[in-house]
Structure 1
Amino acid sequence: MKFLALLLSATLVSTLLPSLHSFSTTTPSKPLLAPRTDLSIAVPPPPTLDVPEVPTDHDILLRAARGEVTERTPLWMMRQAGRYMKAFRAYSENYPFRVRSETPSIAVELSLQCVKAYGLDGCIMFSDILTPLSAIGIEWDVIKGKGPVVYTDVTTEEGVDSLTALGDVDEKLPFLGETLRALRGHTEGKCTLLGFVGSPWTLSAYAAEGGGTKDARKIKHMMYHNPDLARKLFDKLAVMAGEYAVHQIDSGAQVIQVFESWAHHLSPADFEKFAKPAAKKTIEIIKKAKPDTPVIYFANGGSAYLDLQRDMGCDMVCVDHQICMAKARSDLGADVPVSGNVDPSVLFGTEEQIRQAVRDCVDGAGGPGNRHVMNLGHGVRQGTPEESVGWAVDEVKRIRK
């Protein structure tokens, strides 16, 4: 029965789609700096989270992210709002990405679908790490079938100097605060609301490369041949990301995750020399302004140098699935709270394989509730069976002290 509401929601959305043909899904003839929103789009009311009014463990993820020992291990999943869900695809197959992420009614709906379906301990807003770039003068879009495309050249002195301060986020990106405030209203007393930002090196890499890349060649050329310019870019984006995260907290986010999504392109030496100082600056800005808000740092592909992440200044380190949790705990030190790190591919396995992977991860972290937030080592993959996510969530909640 819990999927019935989602199926009805998808059916209702499909009846609205003919009116959306004005939104292009092809590469635009010229860059679009202004957020592409249309507040006239009608969408169903977001799902109601039908849990007890104030469940005793509604804040368990928040407490664990602060480093507290909890009665069980809480769970959320990166890309938990995603294309593996039929209800989500009713939007993603018909709305351009920025229409979905920058129209509050749609972003709220997509953020809550998975929480409603699975009873997750955390709700993360549906958005993108590139979202704030338009507020500082970097023009970008997400093109269907191609992915992110960045139009502004930041590989020159002139390009870096042209970037502005973030300024008033409510004025430049008004949909962000509206989305988070609405989500906080829906999740209050039910689960923890997460916000997120991209780490400055990853954002700089996206901008320098003009989108996705196999080797991050352009940003590394800047690092090796013009390190001062590269650091100038990293510093500007570090400040922007920190201020953007603070705005999210002011708008209702209770935990912030900082995504170093392209850490797999970095050697330990380059991470320590370039990416780490910039990420630490972002985290310092957040913690100075909001010392009581937990910050989680995730370096995707950074499990080879977890020892370098002990002193990031964050409250918790999220670990990818290229390392077992017990080894990650050892590398980081027993005093560092951890998040992660079930292999997303396991969710294509059998029910017992999924449940065993969850048990192994909890055991590797030192047992249930041991300052650990269960997550995947990366995002839920497209095509993942919906029931597999349900089995993982159920197993986490079964394991108690």
Structure 2
Amino acid sequence: MTGLTQVPYLLRATRGETLDRPPVWMMRQAGRYMKAYRDLREKYPSFRERSEKVDIAVEISLQPWRAFKPDGVILFSDILTPLPGIGIPFDIIESRGPIIDPPIRTAEQIEKLHPMDLDKFGFIQEILQTLRREVGNEAAVLGFVGAPWTLAAYAIEGKSSKDYAVIKSMAFSEPTMLHRFLSKLADAIAAYVCHQIEAGAQVVQMFDSWAGQLSPQDYETFALPYQQQVVRQVKAQYPDTPMILYISGSAGLLERMAQSGVDIVSVDWTVDMAEARRRLGPNIGVQGNIDPCALYGSHGFIRDRILDTIRKAGNRGHILNLGHGVLPTVPEDNVRFFFEAAKQADQLLAVSR
């Protein structure tokens, strides 16, 4: 039993162990709903400073750990952080979000991009190493990256988008150019994932947030092959490091997500967890899938949603999480209750039987 206690609980779930309760963490658990974060943001208004200066990023990553003791502590960073490593500068403006200027629109721009320069990311290495020291084996340290389609969408649109018209226009009128860009991005992201693992990330979540805007046919053409390219390269070097794939609005894509090669599919709230389990099969773990707005409900409502999800997911290969990031206006006390109830789930389930 001693050996088991030395393995972070979340990692035990990724290995398919039967557990009394699922491990729990939250996407965007470090962020605006916490007063401690808002206070720090006033002192450091630049998002890039908060995410790229080691001591600040470590402090933000650890704020929810100190407050709630989740089973996973995720690197506080941004999905676009690796882009300068291949020659794409970006900025993040607090009221507008990410800006890439000039956006990537030509074959010439794509050909000028260089392989990932990992020397630019010493701060990522320091942050992850520090997090590992701080949490020890009490939690798993998670890294994260954007997937090729989503990073390409940001780079080509130049900003957030509602209709993805620019990248889809390129996909449907100049697919060869887009495929070239996606492949370059996949190689770069794989190198960046390996860098995070070498620095201490024990699990890595890949966000293909915008792939849910693709039809299944286009997902199979422009997203899935490049997810596979990333996973294949990472697993060649680190076969035992679990990888999670998250897509927003993914109910129509679950079976295809399982083909990416990841160990765990993160499920949003638009599909019932029992149905997700059936569709994914016994060999793929699941994460999720509580509606973030459930945290506006009463404590009793939150508890019932947690227990319902756990019952449907079963006691193997499930990481409890929201179906997307925690919302900035959620009461901090409700987040606290979510973690407390999740950690008492085995007792609560026994009482409710």
- Which one-letter code corresponds to 1:393 in the other structure? F
TM-score under structure 1 normalisation? Answer: 0.83
Q: Percent identity?
A: 44
- Which one-letter code corresponds to 2:216 in the other structure? P
What corresponds to 1:146 in structure 2? 96
Counterpart selection for 1:230 from 178, 181, 199: 178
1:65, distance to aligned residue in structure 2 (A): 1.9
| Contact 1:194 1:255 (8 Å CA) reproduced | yes
Distance 2:31 2:63 in 1: 9
**Alignment of structure 1 residues 352-391 onto 2, 5 Å:** 352-366=300-314, 369-391=315-337
What corresponds to 2:64 in structure 1? 114
**Alignment of structure 1 residues 328-339 onto 2, 5 Å:** 328-339=276-287
Distance 1:82 1:346 in 2: 18
| Contact 2:54 2:126 (8 Å CA) reproduced | yes
Distance 2:203 2:61 in 1: 15
**Alignment of structure 1 residues 91-110 onto 2, 5 Å:** 91-95=40-44, 96-110=46-60
What corresponds to 1:49 in structure 2? none
What corresponds to 1:301 in structure 2? 249
The one-character-per-residue Cα deviations of 1:17-64 (angstroms, maximum 9, x if unpaired) are xxxxxxxxxxxxxxxxxxxxxxxxxxxxxxxxxxxxx99376110121
- Which one-letter code corresponds to 1:69 in the other structure? T
| Contact 2:100 2:154 (8 Å CA) reproduced | yes
**Alignment of structure 1 residues 273-352 onto 2, 5 Å:** 273-352=221-300
**Alignment of structure 1 residues 165-244 onto 2, 5 Å:** 165-167=115-117, 169=118, 171-244=119-192
What corresponds to 2:77 in structure 1? 127
What corresponds to 1:162 in structure 2? 112
* C-alpha RMSD over aligned residues: 1.5
TM-score under structure 2 normalisation? Answer: 0.95
- Using the TM superposition, name which of 240-249 and 259-268 deviates more: 259-268
1:311, distance to aligned residue in structure 2 (A): 1.8
The one-character-per-residue Cα deviations of 1:279-325 (angstroms, maximum 9, x if unpaired) are 11111111111011000111111121211122211111111111111
1:217, distance to aligned residue in structure 2 (A): 0.8
Unaligned runs of 5+ in 2: none
SS at the partner of 1:257? strand
SS at the partner of 2:324? coil
1:79, distance to aligned residue in structure 2 (A): 0.1
SS at the partner of 2:316? coil
Distance 1:242 1:178 in 2: 19
Structure (1 or 2) with the greater helix fraction: 2
| Contact 2:104 2:158 (8 Å CA) reproduced | no
SS at the partner of 2:290? coil
What corresponds to 1:90 in structure 2? 39
1:195, distance to aligned residue in structure 2 (A): 0.2
SS at the partner of 1:256? strand
1:153, distance to aligned residue in structure 2 (A): 2.8
Distance 2:77 2:316 in 1: 30
